[in-house]
Copies of this chain bind each other. A is one copy, B any other.
Amino acid sequence: MPSYKAPLDDVSFLLNDVFQFDRYNNLPGFSDASPDLREAILSEAAKLSEEVLQPLNRVGDKQGCTLHADGRVTTPDGFKEAYKQVTEGGWLGLSAPVEYGGQGLPVTLTQAVAEFQSSANMAFSMYHGLTMGATAALLVSGSEEQKAKYVPKMIAGEWTGTMNLTEPQCGTDLGLLRTKAAKQADGSYKITGTKIFISAGDHDLADNIIHLVLARIEGAPAGVKGISLFLVPKFLVNDDGSLGGHNGVSCGAIEHKMGIHGNATCVLNYDNATGWLIGEENKGMQAMFVMMNEARLGVGVQGLAASEVAYQNAVTYARERLQGRSLTGVKATDKPADPLIVHPDIRRTLLSIRAFNEAARALVIWTALQSDVAHRSDDAQQRQAADDHMGLMTPIVKGVLTDLGFANAVQAQQIFGGHGYIADNGMEQFVRDARIAMIYEGANGIQALDLVGRKLPRNGGRAVMAFFAEVNGFIKEHGEDAAMKPYTAPLAVSLGHLQKATTWLMMNAMAQPDNAGAAATDYMHLFGLVALGYMWAKMAKVAQDKIAAGEATPYLTSKLVTGRFFAERMLPETALRLTRVESGCGTVMELPAEAF
């Protein structure tokens, strides 16, 4: 059976040392999150994840969710009790506004906790994860009345939330959506249509479900300009907050899918369901996009989370499984064979996963901090810079962390040999579960297009220029330091590749937009590598300083080795990505569709 330990040391190192959390004490909520409180919160989150959520991960996969003849949807054994512990612990409200019952602490802490929970049980964690996303959308776009009526219950976890975008004929291209909203005399709307792939769409964990639904008001313009966002509760809510009758929404089916079986992915049928407009008519896309940056960051965290838990289990197996002898002579003389971990190819695999995990975690924490600054700072310039960073990094965190998180789960599974293919060992579940993160909240190809087509040119490239300046500044500041050379020198080369690719795009994508499309995925990965490489350089510097100050712990010395592995073997991939970007769209577009 697989196991999990939350990486508390690593999170503390990032919060306290690398990103110096206390520097942000001027922002609301930060000074409340004292070092002691942070440690207490993270330890409690670790305990909940390790002891309550993780033991239900295999159960959830095996049992899945069930749609009963009477229309009820039930979750796997134990989910209800675990959900109760999550809500009673106040975990949904960690970063939510105090006036609605939240604790108002930084989002950065919530993202750290989200990694633990997703490593422990991805399918389970989606129930409250989606609720938090829906709550965020309501907080930004809902009316005061809507917020007062729904948000406190959602923060308490008494009610959960969903996002309803996809329909059979439309996924990425929401302009094609057909779900209808007919305005009623009382100002409400009757919603009719079919939504598919609705995560946490129905279940028995909470008393009510607040569906946020994209639909088209009768007479609205075609395409994305005619889409509005509606709030459609499963059970209607009376003015006193008590539950009324069942609304016209029902689960038509639970999808049979590759993984995340513990989460009920539903077909939801809306049949004259009563809904209320959120925000303005025909402005549903904007309301949805507010939520999407946070949600995409959260999905990136799922990629990291899968990679981390798969790594941990692969390490345990590699230490215990005796197979073959070291190429340099017998190591475990008292045993019939050496443990797998003596073999260089096993270590290479483990280090490549780990070198990703630690840098990806840094990138998540950094980006989450910028999210906090963007939302909480009273300095307009700081807010703008942070918002630029968030916008730029969101598609990278989502696309790169989920692509590599999945690939790493596959590599970790490989260490188990045939045992990795067997369900009970749990490794193949990590692979199946992680796979969805590359798809939902915008397939990774869409993330790449968002980066190249929208985030890069926005405001004359202000965000990307700021990123280049920051990385360049770091390299200049520490480039002469001999101990830092193994990290900064390869980073400088790779940053050069990224700058070259960026210039190439500026020169070639305007005249021929297909050059951007053909380059997008490789450009996104090139950017991701540089961002991860920068994280490694920052971490190495802090680790070296701490070691120089007398703290030569195994944690810190391992950090330096893992960072060198990244610089030597992983970062050089930027050259390949640049070659692909510069090869342009010619060959890609040459064949007629029928020749494929």
Q: Does A548 contact B (CB under 8 A)?
A: no
Q: Contacts of A258 on B, CB cut-off 8 Å?
A: 421-423, 428, 431-432
Beta-carbon contact of A414 and B432 below 8 Å: no
Beta-carbon contact of B587 and A345 below 8 Å: no
Q: Which of A201-209, A320-328, A464-472 interfaces with chain B?
A: A320-328
Q: Which of A278-286, A369-377, A436-444 interfaces with chain B?
A: A436-444
Q: Contacts of A423 on B, CB cut-off 8 Å?
A: 256-258
> Nearest 10 CB-CB pairs, A to B?
A344-B517, A327-B513, A258-B428, A344-B518, A256-B423, A568-B583, A173-B323, A345-B445, A558-B595, A173-B324
Q: Does A158 contact B (CB under 8 A)?
A: no
From B337, B341, B576, contact of A575 by CB (8 A): B576
Beta-carbon contact of B318 and A596 below 8 Å: yes
Q: Which of A42-50, A95-103, A346-354, A530-538 interfaces with chain B?
A: A346-354
Protomer copies:
2
Q: Contacts of A594 on B, CB cut-off 8 Å?
A: 554
Minimal beta-carbon separation of A292 from chain B (angstroms): 16
Q: Complex: how many Å from CA A82 to CA B513?
A: 50
Q: Contacts of A564 on B, CB cut-off 8 Å?
A: 587
Q: Contacts of A445 on B, CB cut-off 8 Å?
A: 343, 345-346, 349, 414
Please give me the residue from chain B that is nearest to A512 by CB atom: B328
Q: Does A193 contact B (CB under 8 A)?
A: no
Q: A337-B176, A347-B589 are in contact. Are A572 and B565 (CB under 8 A)?
A: no
Q: Complex: how many Å from CA A338 to CA B255?
A: 27
Beta-carbon contact of A197 and B418 below 8 Å: yes
Q: Which of A3-11, A164-172, A539-547 interfaces with chain B?
A: A164-172
Q: How many residues of A contact B (CB 8 A)?
A: 97
Minimal beta-carbon separation of A400 from chain B (angstroms): 14
Q: Contacts of A319 on B, CB cut-off 8 Å?
A: 593, 596
Q: Complex: how many Å from CA A432 to CA B423?
A: 12
Q: Contacts of A417 on B, CB cut-off 8 Å?
A: 171-172, 439, 443
Minimal beta-carbon separation of A531 from chain B (angstroms): 19
Q: Does A90 contact B (CB under 8 A)?
A: no
Q: A344-B588, A418-B439, A435-B421 are in contact. Are A569 and B596 (CB under 8 A)?
A: no
Q: Complex: how many Å from CA A590 to CA B345?
A: 13
Please give me the residue from chain B that is nearest to A590 by CB atom: B561
Q: Does A71 contact B (CB under 8 A)?
A: no
Q: Does A22 contact B (CB under 8 A)?
A: no
Minimal beta-carbon separation of A349 from chain B (angstroms): 8
Beta-carbon contact of A565 and B587 below 8 Å: yes
Beta-carbon contact of B588 and A347 below 8 Å: yes
Beta-carbon contact of A517 and B343 below 8 Å: yes
From B257, B406, B562, B579, contact of A421 by CB (8 A): B257
Q: Contacts of A558 on B, CB cut-off 8 Å?
A: 591, 595
Within 8 A of B (CB), among A34-90: none
Q: Complex: how many Å from CA A438 to CA B481?
A: 43
- Of the A-B pairs whose beta carbons lie under 8 Å apart in the complex, a sample of 19, sorted by A's number, is A171-B417, A171-B418, A173-B324, A176-B336, A196-B418, A256-B423, A257-B421, A258-B431, A327-B517, A341-B593, A343-B517, A345-B518, A345-B520, A406-B410, A417-B443, A565-B588, A568-B583, A569-B583, A569-B587
Q: Complex: how many Å from CA A182 to CA B150?
A: 74
Q: Does A397 contact B (CB under 8 A)?
A: no
Please give me the residue from chain B that is nearest to A349 by CB atom: B445
Minimal beta-carbon separation of A551 from chain B (angstroms): 16
Please give me the residue from chain B that is nearest to A564 by CB atom: B587
From B171, B345, B420, B561, contact of A591 by CB (8 A): B561
Q: Contacts of A349 on B, CB cut-off 8 Å?
A: 445
Q: A345-B448, A420-B439, A421-B257 are in contact. Are A350 and B596 (CB under 8 A)?
A: yes
Q: A418-B197, A418-B439, A572-B579 are in contact. Are A345 and B517 (CB under 8 A)?
A: yes
